[in-house]
Every structure is written in C-alpha cells, then in structure tokens.
Amino acid sequence: MVAPGWYMALAAALFLVGALGLLIRRNALVMFMCIELMLNAVNLTLVAAGRALNDINGQVAVFFILVVAAAEVVVGLAIIVSIFRLRSTASVDELSEMKG
C-alpha cells in the first residue's frame, strides 16, 4: 500500500498547479478548470486521509464536494457561455465593470 504521505504530496502539487493557473491565466474557461483541479486536489486529500484513518467520513465529504462542484459547473459554464456570446471573448481582464 502506498503511504499516505505520497497522496498528500500529489494533492499539494495538483493544488499548486490549479492555484497558480488561476492567478496567471486570463481565459475564464481555463481559470474554471483550475478551480476544478483545486477542488479535486482537496478531494484526494480527503479520501486518502479517510482511508489511512479508517474513517468513512472522508469519502462522504468527497461525495458532497462532487455534487456541489457539479452544480457549480452548470452555473459557471452557463455564465461563461453567455459572456462569450455577448462579447466574443472570455478574458477576465476585460470584465471589470464591477470596479468600485
């Protein structure tokens, strides 16, 4: 059996990739994928820890996150598609109407 530490390391790496991608990329669609990556990195830590500690709660939490993430994707993608239709671009830097 693979030691839990490896799972954690992999999850951390995935999370970092997602976080950096979110900060660096401008395309809304890519940023969205980065968020999904971060979510799944967290899922990985939860199942790994759940299994190592022999606690079913880790897997239960993952299901919750999956469901919520699915819902979020539906809404988020719909918004992105409609923005794209409106402006023919998905660059978040050009969407700054909410500046205070």
By CB under 8 A, name the binding residues for another protein: 19, 22-23, 26, 31, 92-93, 95-100
Residue-by-residue DSSP string for 22-35: HHH--BHHHHHHHH
Q: Which of 85/97 has CB closer to another protein?
A: 97
CB of 66 to another protein, least distance (A): 22
CB of 70 to another protein, least distance (A): 22
Nearest by Cα to 32 from 77, 62, 68, 67: 77
CB of 93 to another protein, least distance (A): 6
Instruction: Compute the distance between CA of residue 18 and CA of residue 26 in angstroms, rounded to an integer.
Output: 13
